[in-house]
């Protein structure tokens, strides 16, 4: 098998589209790490105005994209040469940053769910930029019956972050053998039978099927 440096550049991926260098990775990591403190500015204030809610969601989106760039760069560089521990460390640091961000942002979904639907609709009407998150709101509201306490939501957010950065995407349906869990409706299907899970039952089953 050829080594990376023996393969023509035209046949390799161009990571410069993600980050131009290791130095750029370090700079983005430090920048993102500092910016995580910004989550605290929105906590407890999401229902105050459409602008506040939009700024929080946009902030969370930007942080997620930066962490994704950090993680993908580290993972792909590690795949180029698995003997280089430096890039394994890059991936691990990006994953740890994702874990921290998940904990700091775990209040977002519970705060949105705590709003009366008429209040949320009013915020969307007054802040047109929120319409871009219409699908996000739809998914969140479907899970209202399965939302736990703030502490449990933080724990689950951290667990999902770890699972996601390992390369597993948790879609609308999780399955294992003949078991299927619909994450939108909270229904557990087994062959031709189905049952609507309760709050705690759903959370436990989701974690079991995801891992």
Give the single-character DSSP code of 124. H
Prediction pTM value: 0.67
pLDDT at 168: 43
pLDDT tens over the chain, length 211 residues:
666 666 676 666 778 889 999 999 999 999 999 999 999 999 999 999 999 999 999 999 999 999 999 999 998 888 877 777 898 899 889 988 998 998 899 899 889 988 988 999 999 999 999 999 998 898 888 776 655 556 665 566 666 565 554 444 445 677 777 778 887 777 888 877 788 777 666 767 776 666 5
User: How does pLDDT run across 188-204, given as a tens digit for each residue?
Assistant: 888 777 887 776 667 67
Whole-angstrom CA distances from 142 to 16, 114, 137, 155 are 39, 13, 9, 20
CA 85 – CA 88 distance, rounded (Å)? 5
pLDDT at 170: 45
CA 36 – CA 67 distance, rounded (Å)? 11
């Amino acid at each position: 098998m050829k080594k990376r440096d023996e393969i023509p550049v035209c046949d390799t991926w161009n990571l410069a589209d993600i980050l131009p260098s290791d130095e750029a990775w370090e700079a983005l990591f430090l920048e993102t790490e500092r910016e995580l403190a910004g989550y605290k500015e929105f906590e407890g204030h999401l229902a105050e105005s459409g602008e506040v809610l939009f700024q929080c969601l946009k902030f969370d989106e930007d942080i997620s994209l930066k962490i994704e760039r950090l993680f993908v760069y580290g993972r792909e560089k590690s795949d180029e040469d698995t003997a280089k521990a430096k890039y394994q460390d890059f991936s691990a640091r990006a994953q740890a940053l994702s874990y921290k961000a998940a904990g700091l942002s775990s209040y977002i979904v519970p705060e949105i769910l705590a709003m009366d639907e008429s209040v949320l609709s009013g915020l969307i009407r007054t802040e047109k930029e929120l319409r871009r998150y219409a699908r996000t709101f739809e998914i969140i509201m479907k899970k209202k019956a399965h939302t736990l306490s703030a502490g449990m939501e933080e724990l689950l957010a951290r667990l999902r972050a770890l699972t996601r950065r390992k390369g597993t995407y948790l879609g609308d349906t999780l399955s294992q053998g003949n078991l299927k869990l619909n994450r939108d409706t909270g229904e557990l299907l087994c062959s031709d039978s189905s049952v609507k899970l309760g709050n705690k039952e759903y959370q436990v089953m989701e974690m079991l099927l995801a891992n």
